[in-house]
Structure 1
Amino acid sequence: MHIFGGTVAQAAARIADPAFITECAHRFRTIHGRSPGEAEVRSWENSWPPLLRVLSAAELSELHLLLEYELPGTSQRVDALLLGHRPRTESLVAVAVELKQWQYAAPHGTGPGMLNVGKREVLHPARQVGGYVNYLTEWVPPELHLDVEGLAYLHAAPSDLIDGLRGLQGTGPSAAYSILGPDDVAPDAPSHLLAERLHCGGLRPAAPQRVTAFLEARHRPSPKLLARVADVIGGHETFRLIGEQDKARQRINSAIDAARQGHRGHIVVVTGGPGTGKTAIATRVLGDLCRDSGANPRLLSPTGTLSRQLGRAVGESARGLIATLTTRLPEELDKDTSVVLLDEAHRARTGQGWRTTPFPKLLTDLMTRCAVLVLFLDEGQIVRPGEGTTKDELRRMASQQGCTFAHVDLPTQFRCSGSRPYLDWVDALLSPEARPPRWNGDGYDLALADNPAQLEEWVADHIRHGRSARITAGYCWPWDSPDVPPLLPDVSITWQDASGEHLWERPWNSRADMVVAGDGVPGRAFWATDEGGQQQVGCVYTAQGMEYDYSAVILGRDLTWTAQGWRAQPGESHDPATNRLSPQQYLRYALNIYRVLATRGTRGTRLYSTDPATQAFLRTVLPGRPHNESN
């Protein structure tokens, strides 16, 4: 999909007309279901005119141009894609162009693949272009005979910036993609030289039917791509399966085998609590499927945190195979052969509670577009209205759709030091009645902290000893920080003890989508795993699906203890998705939120409540911090 498609000449003739940008913004809304941001529109206004001037000066006006071309199956958009034909060959040529308004960029300490641009930490443009080229090379059907090239055009960059960026390309794969500045494509240069520098030398307009074939092509992963992803998953220790996990894998494979024999229409539901290995099973089954060169599988997650973490673990090659599911279905699924693995199905946007259809439209649409749908589900992790489904609902949906239905439950968990008693204790604590026994240990390190400073010191001590540890909290403080550093100390807690009144303030995790938000602060998807995340407070949306060795949890005043049991106070929540619910409606979500946060730690957990009555209740069922812990 794209927001403009036509010749370079057609775009150049309209670029000065403000209505052209307005029409492109309208098409963007139609395609993506949201309006483009002001910065995005401004980038079009600033970057498209210089690109069109250069293309016109290079006498490339008849080439086909796609602006904001979305790579099917991903959220990635190519700023500009040129299509042409090289005479005396069968090849259709696609040139991906990354446009930048940068006037300044600095090297990043993590290596040449990242840069500092203002307060943002971003990929080197050549790396971005390389990702586009690799995707098109590996997903476009071979019968199109597509040759893909790419470049970055920094139309406002001084020459020293261009030289610096080229110096950071090194000799790796990124070196193949040109970095061009204004001096490289001056309009008074010979047209043939400009065309060569734009990777368009000798290109002629492609026949309309070839352009149409490109736009209508069904994108599928190539056999080479599938083999690479299968090898990575197969050799990754994280995705080894044990006991019941492997039984679940075999049950899923049984449904897949039936589909291959022509018996299509299968729903498999894998249920299990935190740490039972649902994600490991999903990823391993994806690896199995990738060993079939004719496969067209997808591993989806409704949370960008998990899909981006999995994508990084498996590698850039997996882009498109592993993706985030929102309200738009993946492109190019095949109802005869595609297997869709939906991890964290409890976070799927199903309209639960207010939909008018009998079953979630997102899931029924997904089922009708694939041969096998596998959902990994924990009903106790539904944390927002409008999200989630249930095993029983999926069983009824399968019956209505004429699909077979299979259910596999995972009774064994491998998080929390394998402590089933701990998970049972958490379930007893975070039930509406809350009648947990006093915790007496069992190999899992659980205690109550007196204040947030103790939590932070406990986390810091584990970090110093090479362990992973994080602080999370209920969404009971405003989130006013910008996406990138410097972050504001939004989480602010006061408490009193014998020495007086104290104040503890820390920022929420960054909301930035990058791997690194800036100044050593990880982006939200990597807050739970990357260096620097321990200095921010995570929320349920960045912790869910993740794990770390030690977990410190702050219970806010949205969930407090009374003589009648737990009381939900949605007015204390700053989450717009829940703070207008009634107390009874919110109670289910509040209990689930803290259940998620309390089950992230594989070795230990500390709890602390900002509400004195709740803290007093927790003290009756939890030991205080061990004497050997420092203040």
Structure 2
Amino acid sequence: MHLYGGTVAEAARQVGDEAFIAASEQRFGRIFGVAPHPEEVQSWRRSWPALTQILCAAGLDSVHLLLEYSLPATGERIDALLVGTTGEGLCAVAIELKQWTHAQLSPARPGMVRTGERVVQHPARQVGGYVHYLQQWVSREDFPLTVRGAAVLHDAPADLITALRAQAARGPASIYPVLGRGDLTSVPSAESLAQRLGCADLRPTSRAEVERLLQVEHRPSPALLARAGNVIEGREAFALIGDQDLARQEVLHAVDAARERGTKSIVVVTGGPGTGKTVIACRLLGDLCRQRGSNPRLLSPSGTLTRQLRRTVGDDFRGLIATFLNKVPAGITTESVVLLDEAHRARTYPDHQRTDFPLILGKLLGQAAVTVLFLDERQIVRPTEGITRKELEQHAQRTGSSFTHIDLTTQFRCNGSHAYQEWVDQLFQPEGPGAAWAGNDYDLAVANDPEQFINWVTLHSNNGLTARVTAGFCWPWDSAPTPPLQAEVEITWPGHDGPRSWAYPWNARTDEPDFDHPNVPARPFWATDTGGHEQVGCIYTAQGMEYAYNVVILGDDLVRQGDQWIANPRASHDSQLRDLPPHRYLRYALNTYRTLATRGTKGTRLYSTDPTTQTYLQSLIPSHQT
């Protein structure tokens, strides 16, 4: 998909016309499903005329130009794509446009640039990502495509360009030219300007060839799949043992059987926290990448998990590992195998007012040859999320799909303690007596007060271990998304010499580290990066993650009265939950705290802000020094 296509000369005659901009806004909404941001429209007004003037000055009038060319497997768009031909055949030149006149760079973060209030990728790195995508997802044996790239900062002064080039010189992005105002205006000839743009040998191509490019299916190349398979194979983190490997073999058998029969297949892998669902999904992706003619995807509704996995295997494979939210990722075909991790978080929006089956999830299941869903129903924490094994089985029956269920039982988290997992499962049942903790294979205790659990976290962090504090969403979260963060999670308790208080901030809400506060991790990396122990994580940050030592603060939204839990949704600050009736809120609260209580691989400390609930927890867990 793209917003505009035509020759450079045709575009040059139109882009300065306000009616063209207005028509582009309308077309953008029809093509991409959302309205463009006003800042984006303003950038069109400033950059499109500048770009076409530069290209015409370079003698590229007859070369084809695509504006806002979509890269569907990533959700990103290239500002401009030149399409022509060279002696090697069809050639595409990705151009990233910037209107920058100044920017702030930091040696500590060479891949990022701060401009105004935003922190963005270095433009050379951004272009490099586009080139890599086109090389790996579009160019292949049956459709050879040469790909180049350039960053055009048409308003940037020489000192900024010099600094950006020096920053890019430290890595692979150095091969992509970064051009500023002086490079684009003080040029002795059209040929030399085209040379600077990397287009000196670019010649016009036929519209039929351009149409071939627009119609080509975006799918991972065999080389990309082979490399991804090798990377995953070599990662110790994805080694499987026991039940995990048995489940992997069962899934591969189901995939083979579905391909042989030519029928669609749904495979559901269930298991509690720590049974290795994510590890199995990653290893299966590696297996599938090695299969001839494969077109696999590893999806998750959790952006946090997606970014962590990309970091682990490398961002080169970002199209293979993607976030699944409100649309089916592009490029999934009738031969694709889709691995949907954390399927319990798949959106069923709006709430339970839906058809027989969630629309987007149903489209995904209908499009892929085989879909493997990794599921823990007791981790459904929102009314707008969640699917059950029974619903998936019924859907398979309605659609004539094969259905396979695999249950994982072996516990690999929480020090492998079955006793702790069973204890947590019983603790967060709606009613009935709780069990006294009698295990000796997991470090469990109740913290007497916040000072005690913070000292415990600090001790482990100082020893180089990951330790985190999590809490129910029972405090305001009004601070800005980026640091400095306000200490909004505040607890007061009686001390020997009067009331005492403790306060910590929630984790940052941005997906990238703050330029001026590199020691405050971005939301996706709160669970793993340095500094995360100094903020409080919520369910949406912690779910899917694990760390060595874990503190769980139970807020006033879930309190114990006798042999049952009582929900108080009005104590929640989660706008999606606080207006639910208590009987509905109870399920999500119990699932939330159960999920939070199973993040720690070595030890957990529980603490409740409600005195009665705190006493109840202390009655179940023998007291010892924490």
TM-score, length basis structure 1: 0.94
The equivalences for 1:98-497 within 5 A come to 98-110=96-108, 112-117=110-115, 121-142=119-140, 143-170=142-169, 172-186=171-185, 189-335=188-334, 337-351=335-349, 354-433=352-431, 435-497=433-495
Q: Provide the rounded CA distance (Å) in 1 between the counterparts of 2:70 and 2:612.
A: 53
Counterpart residue number, 1:542: 541
Q: What amino acid is aligned across from residue 572 of structure 1 in structure 2? A: A
The size of the alignment, in residue pairs, is 624
Deviation for aligned residue 1:141: 4.3
The answer on 1:75 being equivalent to 2:75 is yes
Q: Provide the rounded CA distance (Å) in 2 between the counterparts of 1:235 and 1:607.
A: 37
Deviation for aligned residue 1:281: 0.6
Cα distance change, pair 2–534 in 1 and its aligned pair in 2 (3 A): farther
Counterpart residue number, 2:4: 4
- Whether the 8 Å contact between 1:53 and 1:187 is mirrored in structure 2 is no
Deviation for aligned residue 1:602: 0.4
Counterpart residue number, 2:15: 15
Deviation for aligned residue 1:42: 4.0
Measured against aligned partners, the alpha-carbon deviations of 1:245-301 in whole angstroms (never above 9, x if no partner) come to: 111111111122123324331111000000100011111011011112421001100
**Aligned CA-pair RMSD:** 2.2
- Whether the 8 Å contact between 1:496 and 1:502 is mirrored in structure 2 is yes
Deviation for aligned residue 1:477: 2.1
Q: Provide the rounded CA distance (Å) in 2 between the counterparts of 1:228 and 1:340.
A: 19
Measured against aligned partners, the alpha-carbon deviations of 1:294-343 in whole angstroms (never above 9, x if no partner) come to: 210011001111111111111122121111111111112221x2101100
Question: Which has the larger displacement, 325-334 or 438-447?
Answer: 438-447
Cα distance change, pair 46–619 in 1 and its aligned pair in 2 (3 A): farther
The equivalences for 1:38-117 within 5 A come to 38-86=38-86, 89=87, 91-110=89-108, 112-117=110-115
Q: Provide the rounded CA distance (Å) in 2 between the counterparts of 1:192 and 1:370.
A: 48
Q: What amino acid is aligned across from residue 145 of structure 2 in structure 1? A: L
Deviation for aligned residue 1:528: 0.9
Deviation for aligned residue 1:197: 1.4
- Whether the 8 Å contact between 1:228 and 1:317 is mirrored in structure 2 is no
Measured against aligned partners, the alpha-carbon deviations of 1:502-559 in whole angstroms (never above 9, x if no partner) come to: 3322222122122556512222111111112222211111111110001111222222
Measured against aligned partners, the alpha-carbon deviations of 1:432-477 in whole angstroms (never above 9, x if no partner) come to: 1152222234221111123333322221111100100111111222
Cα distance change, pair 179–293 in 1 and its aligned pair in 2 (3 A): farther
Deviation for aligned residue 1:431: 1.3
- Whether the 8 Å contact between 2:432 and 2:563 is mirrored in structure 1 is no
Q: Provide the rounded CA distance (Å) in 1 between the counterparts of 2:488 and 2:129.
A: 36
Q: What amino acid is aligned across from residue 124 of structure 1 in structure 2? A: H
Q: Provide the rounded CA distance (Å) in 2 between the counterparts of 1:344 and 1:293.
A: 27
Cα distance change, pair 597–46 in 1 and its aligned pair in 2 (3 A): farther
Q: Provide the rounded CA distance (Å) in 2 between the counterparts of 1:37 and 1:477.
A: 32
- Whether the 8 Å contact between 2:187 and 2:193 is mirrored in structure 1 is no
Q: What amino acid is aligned across from residue 341 of structure 1 in structure 2? A: L
- Whether the 8 Å contact between 1:352 and 1:389 is mirrored in structure 2 is no
Cα distance change, pair 275–45 in 1 and its aligned pair in 2 (3 A): farther
Measured against aligned partners, the alpha-carbon deviations of 1:541-590 in whole angstroms (never above 9, x if no partner) come to: 11111100011112222222224622222222222221221111111111
Question: Which has the larger displacement, 18-27 or 286-295?
Answer: 18-27
Measured against aligned partners, the alpha-carbon deviations of 1:461-496 in whole angstroms (never above 9, x if no partner) come to: 111001001111112222222232222223233333
The equivalences for 1:22-41 within 5 A come to 22-41=22-41
Q: What amino acid is aligned across from residue 450 of structure 1 in structure 2? A: N
Question: Which has the larger displacement, 100-109 or 290-299?
Answer: 100-109
Deviation for aligned residue 1:361: 2.1
- Whether the 8 Å contact between 1:345 and 1:376 is mirrored in structure 2 is yes
Question: Which has the larger displacement, 478-487 or 368-377?
Answer: 478-487
Q: Provide the rounded CA distance (Å) in 2 between the counterparts of 1:580 and 1:24.
A: 41
Q: Provide the rounded CA distance (Å) in 2 between the counterparts of 1:344 and 1:370.
A: 18
Q: What amino acid is aligned across from residue 326 of structure 1 in structure 2? A: L
TM-score, length basis structure 2: 0.94
Give the SS at the match of 1:595.
helix
Cα distance change, pair 41–140 in 1 and its aligned pair in 2 (3 A): same
Q: Provide the rounded CA distance (Å) in 2 between the counterparts of 1:456 and 1:210.
A: 63
- Whether the 8 Å contact between 1:559 and 1:568 is mirrored in structure 2 is yes
Q: Provide the rounded CA distance (Å) in 2 between the counterparts of 1:172 and 1:33.
A: 36
- Whether the 8 Å contact between 1:554 and 1:608 is mirrored in structure 2 is yes
Give the SS at the match of 1:77.
strand
Question: Which has the larger displacement, 189-198 or 17-26?
Answer: 17-26
Counterpart residue number, 1:570: 569
Q: Provide the rounded CA distance (Å) in 2 between the counterparts of 1:486 and 1:14.
A: 45
Measured against aligned partners, the alpha-carbon deviations of 1:159-192 in whole angstroms (never above 9, x if no partner) come to: 1221112112236421110111111101765322
- Whether the 8 Å contact between 2:270 and 2:407 is mirrored in structure 1 is yes
Question: Which has the larger displacement, 203-212 or 421-430?
Answer: 203-212
Cα distance change, pair 493–158 in 1 and its aligned pair in 2 (3 A): farther
Deviation for aligned residue 1:384: 0.8
